[in-house]
Chain A
Amino acid sequence: MVAHAQRSPFDHAPCFEDMTSSLQSTARQPKGMLKETREVVALARKFKEEVMRPITLSMDRQMQKDPEYLPWEFVRKANEWGFYTLWVPRIFGGKGYNSPSMSYFLEELGSECLGLSNLIGVHYLAVVTMFATFNIRLINKLLREVEDGQKTGIPCLLSLAITEPGAGTDVEEVELVDKGNVGCQATKVEGGYLINGSKIFISSGHVSRWHIVICYEDLKNPSDTMLVLPVKTGSKGFSFGRKEHKMGVKICPASELNFEDCFVPDDLVLMNKEQNQKNRRNNKQTNSQMIDYVVSTSRAGVSAWGTGAARGAFENALDFAINTEVNGKRLVNHEWAQAMLAEMYKNVAISRLSYVETNYANGLCGLYKTIQFKPLFYYFKIVPKIVIDYIIRPIINLPVTTWVFRKIQLDGQTDAQFHRTSGWASLAKFTGTDAGVKNCQMALEIMGQAGLRQDRRAEKILRDSKLLQIYEGTNQLNRINLFKCLAAQGHSQVRVFEHE
């Protein structure tokens, strides 16, 4: 009786903190983020109108005609607009816009063209992966090249190379990777590592200068021997393989990367077992945490794309309904059409809320925690460039800086916190991307014959949106991850990824 009385109401699932990320954030979040986000959305809409809309359909058509085309022209244009440094913190040479605003940006651009939007967004997937290693010196080194790329007009994009011919879902989940069929191996040699193997489906691979490669020292024990190594295009032993012919998102290449005794020196190792020995968690747990840091942010971005696709489909269908007469009156004035369009609008709104809530969680206890800490947020906004160049940069290059960041972000994050960010990211990912496909299907139903034509755009959005249900972990994997991280919390009997 007494024991029962002492139980806290918050001992019950769902965990109060898991339910209230946005509420907890209202006081803690810098107010400047709202102003910045408004600027970002305005910029995205301008770019969408001026640069994307005139080429969206013609580029898609061009790619159907010539699948080998590479979109250098667009990449240069995005580089001119500063999009490859916009969300890079100022201390690393970027413009330092807050990371959650990128999700709104991706939704805006995704509502016009997921392919073109990917050519900007997947660069940050690689950036985020570097950040998840918290190897501050190397992050600074590579991002300075990105900054130079913008200054010189020669774009420096980054790609993330993780998927392999024999392992897709397995490499997204540390609990599965040991059972998977991985083949990209790093062998320790004097002064560095030799990489051998292949990576496939690498978004933006052919147009990227650096590739952040996830590989393994022991292919039979990958979870405990994972390394994160950057490889530069043109390196000896590195080559591009085929460029995939996809159903959609055609303008953004999905590349095969081949490594044949490709040497990476020790001073370019972003993360390995040796470095992880200094962390609170063991190596395997740290690798899992690092992957979760990546997907907790990247899946919010994919959710934003799904939201964008859902929105693009909605806008397309609404426009058709307004301008088309069916059975003697405007389609938009048929009650059934209004109900369908309202459902589509709801799908957009709910999807947006899911990625926004995920970003709140990332700000509270995920990758954005440090950078959104109010004093640091404002300091990095106002600190003069001369101070960055002459005082902060030398500090960044000290090993102690990496040590401090890893203490705060890796050791400082509790299991419950990374379950929260990872679980919410999975929820947002499949909510947004399922909504994207669903809205496209509804748009095509509403539009009939017009929806089938490439020159009316709706069918392109459907083709594009389907990819979102697959990459960054299939939606099936994300459901299991949500179950593991949030839905089944507190139940010690639960096992996931166990073979039946």
Chain B
Amino acid sequence: MLSEKETTIIALEEDVVEFTETKPTPPAPKKEAKSVDVKDVKIAAKKTAPRTSKKELTMLAKAASEFAKKMLAPNREENDKYPFGPFFEDALEKAFGVDFFHIILPEDMNGMNQGMSALSVTLDNICQEDSSLGGILFTNAAAQELMIQAGSKAELERICSKETVRDFLIALPVFNNPSEVKHLAQAKKTGDAYTLSGSLEYMVLGDLAGQAIIPASIAGSTRYSYFLVDLKDKGISKSEPILSLGLHACPAVDLELNHVKATLIGQEGKGSDYFEKMADRLHVAAASMALGVMKGSFKEAFDYAKKREQGGHEIINWSEVKMILSNMAIKISNAEMIIEKACKAVDTLEAKWETRSRAAALHIQDMACDLTTDGIQLLGGVGYMKDFGQEKRFRDAKHIQALLGITPIKKITFIENMI
């Protein structure tokens, strides 16, 4: 009889096979069976942790890339219509099935026990096609990391044993640093139990996830704490999905809380510490999302420039177009180097690893906003239309820049940490 864990792995492998079979290209020769190797990555990953070998990263990158091309790219325009179109449930479930949501979880939680290199390479490849799923992966990873930092192992273990993706997901207001702008609920302590009341803006995955992590202040305390709540609690009312700039299929809602039963994460008043520790690690993952968007934008612009004619020639032959493309390629090349270095620093806890991670995000997110503007420009009018991916990447890049707080304040914090 198979153990529960082995059964899960087999189930995941079936999932992998299922979408490998629908691949239109002929199967690769056996020796190079690297088409969708998530299962291999999963097994290989279990042998080493937390740092992932280059080979394993390559395999994971390929798996994420093929997943994105097969499951996300064909329906990008349709998926982006959410909340006015259907949600990409199928893609979400498949991503869950192939363990993209388990990358940073420890082995005893059925996780891959990988570091930021593995998460980053996955986000990079996913976001090349559609960063909405990247946003879901990121938010969930940030929530998991926050719980890990707070030492809420038992709660995390309980969540990670959930069998469906919606039950498994954890919502988090991942665009706000509660120390900066105090979007906080109010917590009331009765004995050892807590209840939350009040409102909370922009809870990412609030209408998808089974539970949410909520920052709240306890009366009499100047510092905030994090709490876990069940999103099915009758005391929670949710707004319609918020119509936002980008990441349409990574939806957020506003929450109203009325005496909602809550579980403290970590210790009282330590919310800010947990957030900053989480942010130290996750910033580089946010940078990787931006890199993925940049790569997608460059590829579409480059391909278009080779086909579209203007002034009697393919536009790629005009030197101003070459200059713009070159600037895009240079940004990407630099971003790749920065992220590789920053991921290594984070995973090996090199000196100043926190600085590396945050600097990478601030710089690369900024570059992504500039690059995706040019990405539209090179396509001209069609770049502004929904039929192509460039306008979505432009919106997504700006959206991604807002992850983990207000950008100028992140910069101020960066230097304050050095003073």
Q: B381 on the interface (CB 8 Å rule)? A: yes
Q: Is the beta-carbon distance between B181 and A324 smaller than 8 angstroms?
A: yes
A170 / chain B contacts, CB cutoff of 8 Å: 310-311
Of the candidate stretches B27-35, B160-168, B402-410, the one touching chain A is B402-410
A431–B191 CA distance with the chains assembled, in angstroms: 63
Q: Does B245 lie within 8 Å of A244, measured CB to CB? A: no
- Asked if B317 and A499 sit within 8 Å, CB to CB, the answer is yes
- The answer, among B173, B243, B409, for a CB contact under 8 Å with A61, is B243
Q: How far is the CA of A497 from the CA of B179 in the complex (A)?
A: 54
Cβ of A47 within 8 Å of any chain B Cβ, yes or no, is no
> Which residues on B sit within 8 Å (CB–CB) of A55?
none
With A176-B311, A452-B244 as known contacts, state yes or no: A470 contacts B318, CB within 8 Å.
no
Residues of A participating in the B interface, judged by any CB pair closer than 8 Å: 61, 64-65, 163, 166-170, 176, 179-181, 200-201, 244-248, 324-327, 336-337, 340, 437, 441, 444-455, 459, 462-463, 466-467, 469-471, 474-476, 480, 497, 499-500
**Contact partners of B296 in chain A: CB under 8 A:** none
Given A466-B376, A499-B317, A500-B317 in contact, is the A448-B395 Cβ separation under 8 Å? no
User: Known: A326-B181, A476-B377, A499-B312. Contact between A463 and B245, CB under 8 A?
Assistant: yes
Q: How far is the CB of A244 from chain B (nearest CB, A)?
A: 5
> Which residue, of B246, B394, B401, B408, has the highest number of chain A Cβ atoms within 10 A?
B408
Q: A327-B180, A327-B409 are in contact. Are A470 and B311 (CB under 8 A)?
A: no
Residues of A within 8 A of B311 (CB): 169-170, 176, 179-180, 497, 499
Residue of B nearest to A445 (CB): B407
Least CB distance from A495 to B in Å reads 13
State whether A445 touches B401 (Cβ < 8 A). yes
Partner of A448, one of B182, B376, B402: B402
Q: Which residue of B lies closest to A200 (CB)?
A: B381
Is residue B17 within 8 Å, beta carbon to beta carbon, of the partner chain? no
Top 9 nearest A-B pairs (CB, nearest first) are: A179-B312, A448-B406, A459-B245, A247-B391, A449-B175, A245-B386, A454-B243, A445-B407, A179-B311
**Interfacial residues, chain B to chain A (CB-CB below 8 A):** 84, 173, 175-176, 179-183, 201-202, 242-246, 309-313, 317-320, 324, 369, 373, 376-377, 380-381, 383-387, 391, 394-395, 398-399, 401-402, 405-409, 412
Q: How far is the CA of A200 from the CA of B381 in the complex (A)?
A: 10
A163 B384 Cβ-Cβ under 8 A: no
CA distance A176 to B312 in the complex (A): 8
Given contact pairs A452-B399, A454-B244, a sample of 20 additional A-B residue pairs in the complex whose CB atoms are under 8 Å apart: A61-B243, A169-B310, A170-B311, A179-B313, A180-B309, A246-B385, A247-B391, A325-B182, A444-B398, A444-B401, A445-B408, A447-B406, A448-B402, A449-B181, A451-B245, A452-B245, A452-B246, A453-B245, A470-B381, A480-B320
Is B394 a contact of A247 with CB atoms below 8 Å? yes
Q: How far is the CA of A451 from the CA of B401 in the complex (A)?
A: 11
Which residue in B180, B245, B377 is a CB contact (below 8 Å) of A470?
B377
B27 to chain A, nearest CB (A): 37
Chain B neighbourhood of A324, CB < 8 A: 181
Q: Is the CB of A325 within 8 A of B181?
A: yes
Chain A nearest CB, measured from B382 CB (Å): 9
Q: Which of A168, A447, A463, A499 sits near B395, CB closer than 8 Å?
A: A463
Q: How far is the CA of A469 from the CA of B324 in the complex (A)?
A: 15
Contact A337 B408 (CB under 8 A): yes
Residues in B with CB closer than 8 Å to A246 are 384-386, 391
- Minimal beta-carbon separation of A5 from chain B (angstroms): 42
Residue of A nearest to B394 (CB): A466
Please tell me if the beta carbons of B243 and A64 are within 8 angstroms of each other in the complex.
yes
Are A247 and B386 within 8 A (Cβ)? yes
- Chain A nearest CB, measured from B301 CB (Å): 13
A327 touches B179 (CB 8 A): yes
Complex Cα gap A367–B34 (Å): 65
For A61, A166, A441, the residue with the greatest tally of chain B CB atoms inside 10 Å of its CB is A441
Query: Do the beta carbons of A326 and B376 come within 8 Å of each other?
Result: no
Q: Give A466 to B309 CA distance when docked, in angstroms.
A: 23
| Residues of A with C-beta under 8 A to B408 | 336-337, 340, 445-446
Measured between beta carbons, the chain B residues less than 8 angstroms from A176 are 310-311
In the assembled complex, the CB of A47 is this many whole angstroms from the nearest CB of chain B, namely 26
- Who on chain B is nearest to A458 by CB? B245
A469 to B378, CA, bound (A): 11
Cα-based distance from A25 to B365 in the complex (angstroms): 46
Q: How far is the CA of A297 from the CA of B405 in the complex (A)?
A: 42
Contact (A453, B243) CB under 8 Å given A179-B312, A445-B406: yes
A168 touches B381 (CB 8 A): yes
CA distance A179 to B313 in the complex (A): 8
**For the complex, what is the distance from the CA of A467 to the CA of B54, rounded to whole Å?**
42
Q: In whole Å, how far is B229's beta carbon from the nearest beta carbon of chain A? A: 20
* CB–CB A474/B377 < 8 A: yes
A444 touches B376 (CB 8 A): no
CA distance A130 to B245 in the complex (A): 38
Bound state CA distance, A467 and B313, in angstroms? 24
Question: Are B409 and A437 within 8 A (Cβ)?
Answer: no
- Which residues on B sit within 8 Å (CB–CB) of A167? 310
Name the A residues within 8 Å of B409 (CB-CB): 326-327, 448
What chain A residues lie within 8 Å of B406 (beta carbons)? Answer: 326, 445-449
Identify 16 residue pairs between A and B in the complex whose beta-carbon atoms are under 8 Å apart, listed by A's number.
A181-B309, A244-B385, A326-B181, A326-B409, A441-B369, A444-B398, A446-B408, A449-B183, A449-B201, A451-B402, A454-B244, A459-B244, A462-B245, A463-B395, A474-B380, A497-B311
Distance in angstroms between the alpha carbons of A476 and B379 in the assembled complex = 12
Interchain CB contact under 8 A, A449 and B320: no
Contact with A201, one of B175, B376, B381 (Cβ below 8 angstroms):
B381
- Whether the pair A469, B377 counts as a contact (CB closer than 8 A) is yes
**CA A456 – CA B183 in complex, angstroms?**
16
Q: A247-B394, A325-B182, A326-B409 are in contact. Are A180 and B310 (CB under 8 A)?
A: yes
Q: Contacts of B317 on A, CB cut-off 8 Å?
A: 499-500
Give bound CA distance, A170 to B311, whole Å: 6
Who on chain B is nearest to A245 by CB?
Answer: B386
B369: A residues at CB distance < 8 A: 441
Query: What is the CB-to-nearest-CB distance from A478 to chain B, in angstroms, rounded to a whole number?
Result: 12
Q: Which residues of B contact A463 (CB under 8 A)?
A: 245, 395
